[in-house]
Amino acid sequence: MGTDIKAASERVQAVAAGNQRSARSRRLSDLSVGESARVLRLEGPRLFRRRLMELGLVPGTEVEVVNVAPLGDPIELEVRDCRLSIRRDEGEQILVSADKRGLKVLA
């Protein structure tokens, strides 16, 4: 029960701080191999966001984590039938959906 109160408190603090992240969103870097989700929002500098959009990572696009290097960096993704690799810190700047409609685990 204490964990629930702490999580609720963190959500309230995030909203108060102006953080737009919802309770159902996750960072792309937090997904495991085989998980897929829909891109919600790109964060970071303008040029960085532009480069990701040029690679096909635009809001609404489904992305799947295909592989992760042994040391955890980079992350191999499949986006629009194309594979690309990004750094873990870049994946932390990509918010993806984490609800059951937008997130599935592939067997």
Q: In the 8-state DSSP scheme, what is residue 31?
A: P
Band (15; pLDDT cuts 50, 70, 90): very low
For the whole model, what pTM was predicted? 0.68
Q: What is the CATH number of the domain that holds 49?
A: 2.30.30.90
Classify residue 51 by burial, with Cβ atoms within 10 Å: 0-12, 13-18, 19+: middle
Q: Assess if residue 83 is contained within a domain.
A: yes
The number of folded domains in the chain is 1
The whole-chain average pLDDT of the chain stands at: 79
Residues 6+ apart with CB under 8 A from 107: 34
**Host domain of residue 32:** 22-105
Q: Assess if residue 36 is contained within a domain.
A: yes
